[in-house]
Amino acid sequence: MRVVIQRVAEASVTVDGDIVGAIGPGLVVLAGFLPQDTRATTAWMAEKVVNLRIFADDEGRMNRSLPDIGGEVLVVSQFTLYGDARKGRRPSFIRAARPEIAIPLYEGFVEDLRAVAPGGVQCGRFGAHMDVALVNDGPVTLVIDR
C-alpha cells in the first residue's frame, strides 16, 4: 500500500460536476494498493496517517496530529501511484491491484480511517474520473509505503 498525504487548508473532489467529498483543514490522502495488501495493511496505514505529527503547534513546529487539531480526511483512490515509467514513455500499472482486490481494500481503508479519525472522513468515488481541488498548507507532502 502506498499513500501520498498532503496537509491542506481545504479540499474537495468532484465527479461529473457533483462534489462527492469536501473537507476543511486536514489531510488529502491519495491511496494505491498492491495485490498482496490486506486489511491489516489498511489498519496500520490508517493509524499511521491519523497520528502523524505534521500540523503546527503554537511555536510553528510540526508537533500536532489530526486528532490534536480536529482535522478531517479526504481519501482518493489512485492506482497510478504504482505506475512504473522507468522504461519507455507510457507508464505500466501492472503492479497495482486489480479492482476486485483494490475496491475492498479501499473501502476497508476508509472504514479504518473513520474508526480513528476524529474530524470525519470524506472520499472520492473508486474508478471514477475525479477532479480534486485543494489548498495545500505549507506545502507538506509525504509518501508512505507499507
Q: What share of the chain is helix, strand, coil (3-state, %, to 5)?
A: 25, 40, 35
pLDDT in the model for residue 64:
98
pLDDT in tens, 73-129: 999 999 999 999 999 999 999 999 999 999 999 999 999 999 999 899 999 999 999
How many structural domains are present in the chain?
1
| Distance (Å, whole) CA 71 – CA 6 | 13
Cβ distance 55 to 68 under 8 Å?
yes
> What is the percent of the chain with per-residue pLDDT over 70, rounded to a whole number?
100
pLDDT in the model for residue 89:
94
Provide the mean pLDDT of the chain.
97
pLDDT in the model for residue 24:
97
pLDDT in the model for residue 10:
98
Distances (CA, A) of 100 to 9, 33, 105: 34, 11, 9
Query: Is 79 designated active site?
Result: yes
| Distance (Å, whole) CA 79 – CA 1 | 10
C-alpha cell at 88: 519507455
Q: Which domain holds residue 125?
A: 2-145
CATH number of the domain at 93, please: 3.50.80.10
pLDDT in the model for residue 75:
98
Q: Catalytic one among 33, 55, 79, 109?
A: 79
Helix axes 99-116, 39-51, angle to 10 degrees: 40
- The closest alpha carbon to 71, from 140, 21, 120, belongs to 120
pLDDT in the model for residue 12:
98
C-alpha cell at 31: 491511496
pLDDT in the model for residue 17:
97
Query: Is 38 designated active site?
Result: no
pTM of the model: 0.96
Query: Is 80 designated active site?
Result: yes
- State the burial class of residue 94 (Cβ atoms within 10 Å of its Cβ: 0-12, 13-18, 19+): exposed
| Distance (Å, whole) CA 120 – CA 19 | 16
The confidence band for 9, taking pLDDT boundaries of 50, 70 and 90, is: very high
Q: Catalytic one among 78, 93, 122, 126?
A: 78
pLDDT in tens, 46-58: 999 999 999 999 9
